[in-house]
């Protein structure tokens, strides 16, 4: 059984591997492996596959076989999601928010969770439980980098991965904050390039994102 402290320590290591974690919504498991290979080759080894499609669990299974990649499951909402993600090979989890039931399930399943928080109160509640690494979501809708900076002033113990509306243009605003470890973004794997199978273009987008400074 993993503790919140251990989960945060493991996720901090992952968050420090690259400045951007690709947030992936994939409809077709057949593209999973070449997509993961392109992102990893471009310098983004940590991949979040959101459980928003019927193919998501198969995508996690395929991507988990890519050398150099660390694949996690996003949009965890229920204990069933947690078990399915673990069975598919997810090495970490991400949630848009946090409930005691979800936190209990992740801890029991030994799945390091990056739990979502949108307010100071939510961040404090997670910190009270022992989660010092959290997801700030939805980042842009909640005031963006200025809001996250403001939350960090009275709660410096918590480090964040902002996700939701993060782009190549505004990512540096987040990455420049002292309480940000990395950011999550979907722009590195746009649907049109995935559909066309333009893995070279995706690799270039990943390489551009991997060079963002923190």
Residue 48 a catalytic site member? yes
Residue in 37, 62, 107, 135 annotated catalytic: 135
Task: Return the beta strands (E) in the chain as ranges.
Answer: 20-24, 46-50, 70-74, 93-94, 113-114, 116-117, 133-136, 159-162, 183-185
Residue in 48, 62, 107, 203 annotated catalytic: 48
Residue 80 a catalytic site member? no
With beta carbons less than 8 A apart as the criterion, state whether 8 and 123 touch.
no
Beta bridge pairs of residue 93? 73, 113
Q: Quick check: helix, strand or coil at residue 89?
A: coil
Distance separating alpha carbons of residues 188 and 19, to the nearest angstrom: 12
User: What residues act catalytically?
Assistant: 48, 135
């Amino acid at each position: 059984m993993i503790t919140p402290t251990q989960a945060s320590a493991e996720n901090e290591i992952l968050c420090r591997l690259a400045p951007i974690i690709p947030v992936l919504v994939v409809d077709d498991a057949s593209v999973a492996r070449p997509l993961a290979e392109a992102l990893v080759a471009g310098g983004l080894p940590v991949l979040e596959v959101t459980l928003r499609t019927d193919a998501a669990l198969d995508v996690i299974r395929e991507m988990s076989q890519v050398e150099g990649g660390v694949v996690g499951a996003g949009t965890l909402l229920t204990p069933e999601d947690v078990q399915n993600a673990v069975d598919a090979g997810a090495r970490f989890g991400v949630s848009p928010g946090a409930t005691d039931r979800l936190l209990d399930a992740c801890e029991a399943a030994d799945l390091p969770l990056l739990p979502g928080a949108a307010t100071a109160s939510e961040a404090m509640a997670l910190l009270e439980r022992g989660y010092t690494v959290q997801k700030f979501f939805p980042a842009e809708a909640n005031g963006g980098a200025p809001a996250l900076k403001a939350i960090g002033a009275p709660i410096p113990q918590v480090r964040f991965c902002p996700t939701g509306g993060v782009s190549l243009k505004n990512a540096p605003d987040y990455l420049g904050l002292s309480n940000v470890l990395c950011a999550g973004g979907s722009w590195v794997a746009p649907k049109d390039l995935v559909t066309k199978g333009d893995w070279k273009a995706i690799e270039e987008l990943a390489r551009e994102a991997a060079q963002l400074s923190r």
